[in-house]
Amino acid sequence: MKLTGAIADIPNKSNTVYPNEVLKKAVEEYNETYSESYLFDQGSETNAVGKINNVKFENNCVFVDVDFFDSNRGLVCKALIENGMNLFVSTSGAAKAEKNEQGQLEIKNLTINRFNVSPTNSFDVKFVEDFGEG
């Protein structure tokens, strides 16, 4: 199943902007660093809900392809998606940011070390629905 993550060059709800080149580089570095990785339950350090098959940056957006585990949390995620709920991915890692001329927090450097599943996203939901799949 494919989940949507961060979108480049669009301010999120906390007025943070991830420039295209920064997100693209972070995804490339993540893929080079992690040959095997897992999707985690938001807010959990240990509860993996699925195995990540592919992370790509396409059309200014991060997409994560995941196979959910047959565990309680994995089956809940799968059922939510199959019943029409949008789940999203957020990232954990390290970033350097500075305020830009528009007063937005602009990410200058980003290292992703894990992805988390979330029922909400940091971007305008209408925009994400219009954005489509990668």
Burial class (CB in 10 A: 0-12, 13-18, 19+), 129: exposed
| 126 lies in some domain | no
- Residue pair 26/32 in contact by the 8 Å Cβ criterion: no
| 132 lies in some domain | no
End-to-end CA distance of the chain: 12
pLDDT at 106 over 90: yes
Cα–Cα distance list, 21 to 28, 54, 129 (Å): 11, 19, 23
Which has more confidence, 118 or 70? 70
Report pLDDT for 123. Answer: 65
Q: Which domain holds residue 104?
A: 2-121
Which has more confidence, 44 or 89? 89
Q: What is the pLDDT of residues 7-37, one digit of tens each?
A: 999 998 889 999 999 999 999 999 999 989 9
Q: What is the pLDDT of residues 58-104, one digit of tens each?
A: 999 999 999 999 999 999 999 999 998 888 898 889 999 999 999 99
Which has more confidence, 133 or 121? 121
| 103 lies in some domain | yes
Residue positions counted in the chain: 134
Which phi and psi (to 5°) does residue 45 adopt?
A: -85, -20
Please state the pTM of the whole predicted model: 0.85
Eight-class DSSP state of 121: -
| 133 lies in some domain | no
Number of domains comprising the chain:
1
| 131 lies in some domain | no
The rounded distance, in Å, linking the Cα atoms of 4 and 46 is 22
